[in-house]
Amino acid sequence: MAKLFEPINLGGVELHNRVMISPMCQYSAEGGVANEWHRAQYGRFAMGGAGLVMIEATSVNAEGMGTLGDLGLWTDEQEAALTEIARAISALGAVPGIQLGHSGRKAAAQRPWHGNAPLGPQDAEERNELPWPVVAPSALAMAEGWQVPQALDAAGIEALKADYAAATRRALRAGYKVVELHCAHGYLMHEFLSPLSNLREDEYGGSRESRMRLTEGGDQRESHLGLDGLRALEELLASHFELKAHIGISLADDAMTIERLTAEQAWILDSLADNKEMAISGGAGSGKTVLAVEKAIRSAAEGRRTLLTCYNAPLSTSTGAASSRTAA
Ligand SMILES: Cc1cc2nc3c(=O)[nH]c(=O)nc-3n(C[C@H](O)[C@H](O)[C@H](O)COP(=O)(O)O)c2cc1C
């Protein structure tokens, strides 16, 4: 417990304690631009004493917006608003971090309080909210009633990498010291990682190495964690940023057995460079998921500095550190 309040240096970033506020979507932006809501939301956590305040999933481009209330970071206006938030967090004593993401085939959804379903005719009628075409590794809908995404072609993947790189540059300029790549919860990067949603036959699909190519540039065991599109920025990133991955562990489909899932996740975790911190998120808290999380953590997290966050997992399970937000 005492360690929780000791300072820690994560990849060159000094935190005054080990409390990290997890990224939490607020669905309260307009046009992807942060506002007073976000300033209050993130400012109060900094004021409350957290060492690291992570801004919610922020889309790298317009098509990747999960809902029309998501934050974005592809325009100057969005950057200016997020600069203000970073400044407020820093002024209140915490380190500002930001999670960058793309919602893939889960994009164009309703805000939770409107139903969490894909945007449809009623949303258009009531709030003038229209869906837009979504993209994914393969043309597979997430579930019945959701859009069948367009499979990204080679040019689309290159454009995506450029969007991640551009958003990362903006985040750096805006004053964020930690960048987390959202690779969890069934969003685009997770869709590439998972053999259930990635049926590609090119260099981004098939083997684990290929499915990981977007999130892990080059040779997995030697390279830094990062999109291969970010490799040009690596030197800059190394001096300014701690790169983290938020890795999702969930049993969304019966085709994914615990054994298969844990082998996949353990392999992915094992492949990440040793000096990279990572957050592991446990998906819905079913018994099966908790078991899988425990197994994956036991086999992969040993000896690493790992931030564990288990979504809805019962605290009584032996995952122990779940929800503690400590870097052990
Ligand atoms: C309202 C809400 C929004 C969330 N938004 C995000 C998000 O933007 N990105 C993300 O990676 N996880 C998101 N999560 C998951 C949390 O970051 C965290 O991993 C999860 O809540 C586990 O912590 P807990 O067990 O203390 O709830 C969200 C969770 C909640 C409750």
Domain assignment present for 120? yes
List pLDDT tens digits, range 159-206: 998 898 889 889 989 999 888 888 888 899 889 888 889 999 999 999
Domain assignment present for 85? yes
Residue 22, pLDDT > 80, answer: yes
Pocket of ligand 1 contains residue 323 by CB under 6 Å: yes
CB-count exposure of residue 291 (10 Å: 0-12, 13-18, 19+): middle
Domain assignment present for 320? no
Residue 136, pLDDT > 90, answer: yes
Question: How far, in Å, is the centroid of ligand 1 from the Cα of 186?
Answer: 13
Asked if residue 306 lies in contact with residue 249, where contact means CB atoms within 8 angstroms, the answer is no
* Ligand 1 atom closest to the CA of 246, numbered from 1: 11
Domain assignment present for 291? yes
Amino acid making up residue 126: E
Report how many domains make up the chain: 1
Domain assignment present for 269? yes
The residue among 314 and 102 whose pLDDT is bigger is: 102
Domain assignment present for 319? no
* H or E element at residue 71: strand 71-72
Average pLDDT, the chain: 75
Residue 148, pLDDT > 80, answer: yes
User: Is 187 noted as a catalytic residue in this protein?
Assistant: yes
Pocket of ligand 1 contains residue 58 by CB under 6 Å: no
* CA atoms of 109 and 90, how far apart (whole Å): 32
Q: pLDDT-based confidence at 36, cuts 50/70/90?
A: very high
**Ranges 8-22, 40-54, 304-318: which has the least confidence:** 304-318
Asked if residue 205 lies in contact with residue 197, where contact means CB atoms within 8 angstroms, the answer is no
Residue 317, pLDDT > 90, answer: no
CA 311 to centroid of chain Cα atoms: 14
Amino acid making up residue 101: G
Asked if residue 232 lies in contact with residue 161, where contact means CB atoms within 8 angstroms, the answer is no
Asked if residue 54 lies in contact with residue 42, where contact means CB atoms within 8 angstroms, the answer is no
Residue 28, pLDDT > 90, answer: yes
pLDDT for res 222: 34
Look up the CATH number of the domain holding residue 92.
3.20.20.70
State which residues form the domain around 107.
Answer: 2-309
Pocket of ligand 1 contains residue 57 by CB under 6 Å: yes
